[in-house]
Structure 1
């Protein structure tokens, strides 16, 4: 079995959530002098993805932060904003909406969460090297626990575009069986997310 063509990989960043537990404005909260979402975007743009599809809701501040980050990284030509009309419908809806924008010739798609700013850019590159078949799902593990991002081989695209509700892709991963490839990484960032304001300090400590 040979490695897939990583030049045909794409990435999705989920940035449409309202951040209810944070109290609103989560993805534009300041971290390291930039919006929180900039961390996930940076890793996505540094990954072996030809384009980065960012699912955004009606919040114009998030849209502007995403566009400004892409400009700062000289990656505007690789950014595709995907509008999610009703983010309250759940993460599954946001992911499905973004997945429908990914080209049919994709070899696979990374799924990043916009509130996870500390993933080492080396991690998605490592995942890409481990994608050997279009039926694979490749996920990083740190200290034995699965984290993010997750790389879905092309055969999973019809499943992703059919998602609904707030479950996201977790159920798909849990049921993948032998098709799930777990890749140990020395990257605590695969577990670090921001749900509440107090989490920002924890993430800054692990910066």
Structure 2
């Protein structure tokens, strides 16, 4: 069995970019994310690689994925390009990136985070334990208070309320769910109390 590992060396990144351009049949990539923190990363080599891709016109903007604040700042220190985003998981059943300071770091650096798995892979709708069942009930109560159609609308409003102006990465092809995510940008506003209700029920301890 092969061992899982991460690879951020120049040859690998350039190969993957060229492969993506060929598959997408386009001349450049709008946003390239360096996915996961490679403990063997050579920051200076990475900087040269990103500069090369930018100078060749193959990539316009760069970001990171699943990097904590220290990992993000370390790579940014060595790179000429500014990382415009950090993509990580965030949903009402998983708020680790609020607890570890990653969300505050986004505000500090003026970057717009990208949230993947906003609905916890569907566990929001089909609870498997008491914690998940309680969260579903909390979301349902707020849904009724806001007079929304489905609880995923509550989650989208909760995620988008943060002042870092985040972007939600939907892992669905369901047209109605996509529409509800778009509608969540407008309409009724979630109150601070409702927002904190979800956060604290998710396990965040207020000081």
With the length of structure 1 as denominator, give the TM-score of the two structures. Answer: 0.26
Greater percentage in strand: 1
Greater percentage in helix: 2
With the length of structure 2 as denominator, give the TM-score of the two structures. Answer: 0.26
In our comparison, the structure showing a higher alpha carbon Rg is: 2
